[in-house]
Amino acid sequence: MITAAQMRAARALLGIDQRQLAERAGISVPTVQRMEASIDVVRGNVESLMRLLAALESAGIELINEGAASIDGGRGVRLKTRAKPPEDRTGRSSARGSKARSLP
C-alpha cells in the first residue's frame, strides 16, 4: 500500500497540491487530507485508495516498498531506514553538541 509520507512526497515530486491530486483521482479534497493525516499506512475506502494509486501511477509516480528495487530506475527519493547525522571535518557527528560560532 501507500504511506502518508509517500503520498506527500509524490505530490511534491509532481508539484501539485491536495486539490489537484483530488481532481486527478476523482476523490474529494477532505479524503486526500484524511489520507495524508494517517500516521503510517494510508487508511480509507478501498475504491478511493485504488483511484489515488491509479492517478499517481498515471502521473509517473512509482511507489517503492521497503526493501524493493525501482523497476524503471528513474529519478526519485527514498528514505533510509536509519539516517546518520552528517559528520564535520573531524569525523565527529555534527548533531553532538555543536556550537554555533559568532562572526566578528
Angstrom CA distances, 21 to 11, 52, 84, stand at 7, 8, 33
Q: Which residues touch 90 (CB under 8 Å, ≥6 apart)?
A: none
All three cell numbers of 55: 492517478
C-alpha triplet 76, 55, 37: angle, nearest 5°: 75
All three cell numbers of 24: 486527478
CB 42, CB 5: distance < 8 Å: no
The pTM for the full model equals: 0.69
Q: What is the mean pLDDT of residues 31-59?
A: 93
pLDDT tens profile 67-91: 777 777 666 666 666 656 666 667 6
Q: 51: pLDDT confidence band, cut at 50, 70 and 90?
A: very high
Q: How far apart are CA 88 and CA 20, in angstroms?
A: 41
